[in-house]
């Protein structure tokens, strides 16, 4: 049951565009949240919603370059974050405090992001219509 | 108010399914609408008719089915998340239906509030 982007777009019907933010708080592997969360991001973009992503806590590890998953025998899905631009998903916010607490620098991330402080992140969340956390 | 619900955790393993159910009942009792309940991640297991808890425990799956029967609430299971976990049409409890993630996005668009029950 594979739906193409066009078919999904037609189902959307009403043409309402809301601000959706997906809040990623968990490491990319170990649980399925990051992977299945990304699926929802792609569908939301196909529905022509105003999509943004927030990365907090261990969620910042989802964007770290050079992920090696062979030994885990799970798929390295991190290239999908690079494909988001093609879906017009370009608002990726990473919380500064979460990066600092884990010793990760912005240049170690695999896509361009906006690094924001916790307070600014709270403001961004306040502006959303729909917030879905994984 | 019109609520959409998203449930991301399996029954019995996590409180989320219980809290979501109680939220739905309470909202309906107060005269609100439940536009849809969408089951994702391990939440799809809320829809398995194979579920048989011990007799002295609550029956989470039957409880959802009864909610659908009593109030006509739309219970939707994600097809991809379901397939991954062996949850298909054949073992779906009454009142549930299988559909795509577009139904979740639609819920976010149509409902006044989308409430997420997860870990």
pLDDT single digits (tens) A2-21: 444 445 544 544 588 999 99
**What's the rounded Cα separation, in Å, for the pair B37 and A36?**
18
Q: Which residues of A touch B79 (CB under 8 A)?
A: 1
Residues of B in contact with A8 (CB under 8 A): 100, 102
- Which chain A residues are Cβ-neighbours of B108 within 8 angstroms? 18, 20, 44, 49, 129-130, 132
Using CB atoms within 10 A of its CB, is residue B52 exposed (0-12), middle (13-18) or buried (19+)? exposed
Q: Which domains does chain A have, with CATH numbers?
A: 17-133 (3.40.1260.10)
3-state secondary structure of A125: helix
Q: What is this model's ipTM?
A: 0.94
Residue recorded with tokens 């979740």:
B104
Number of H helices, E strands in chain B: 4, 5
Torsion on CA atoms B59, B64, B69, B73, rounded to nearest 10: 170
* pTM above threshold 0.80: yes
> Nearest-CA distance from B53 to chain A in Å?
25
Quick: pLDDT tens for B62-101: 999 999 999 999 999 999 999 999 999 999 999 999 999 9
The domain of B12 spans 2-117
Does A3 touch chain B if contact means CB atoms closer than 8 Å? Answer: yes
Q: Shortest CA distance to B36 belongs to which of B71, B88, B81? A: B71
Overall number of domains in chain B: 1
Which CATH number fits the domain that encloses residue B21?
A: 3.40.1260.10
Residue of A nearest to B106 (CA): A12
Q: Is B95 a catalytic residue?
A: no
């Amino acid at each position: 049951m594979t739906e193409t982007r066009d078919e999904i777009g037609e189902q959307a019907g009403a043409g309402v565009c809301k601000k959706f933010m997906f809040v990623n708080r968990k490491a990319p592997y170990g649980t399925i949240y990051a992977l299945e969360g990304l699926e929802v991001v792609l569908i939301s973009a196909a529905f022509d919603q105003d999509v943004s992503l927030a990365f907090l806590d261990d969620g910042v590890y989802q964007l770290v370059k050079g992920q090696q998953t062979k030994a885990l025998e799970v798929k390295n899905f991190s290239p999908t974050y690079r494909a988001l631009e093609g879906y017009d998903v370009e608002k990726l916010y990473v919380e500064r405090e979460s990066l600092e607490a884990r010793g990760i620098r912005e240049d170690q991330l695999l896509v361009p992001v906006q690094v924001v402080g916790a307070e600014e992140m709270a403001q961004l969340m306040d502006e959303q219509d729909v917030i879905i956390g994984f | 108010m019109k609520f959409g619900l998203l449930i991301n955790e399996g029954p019995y393993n996590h409180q989320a399914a219980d809290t979501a159910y109680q939220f739905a009942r309470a909202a309906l009792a107060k005269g609100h609408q439940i536009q849809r309940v969408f089951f994702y991640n391990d939440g799809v297991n809320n829809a398995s008719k194979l579920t048989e808890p011990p007799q002295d425990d609550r029956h989470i799956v039957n409880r959802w089915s009864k909610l659908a029967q009593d109030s006509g609430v739309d219970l939707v299971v994600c097809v991809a998340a379901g397939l991954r976990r062996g949850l298909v049409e054949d073992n779906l409890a009454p009142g549930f239906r299988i559909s795509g993630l577009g139904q979740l996005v639609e819920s976010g668009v149509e409902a006044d509030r989308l409430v997420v029950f997860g870990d």
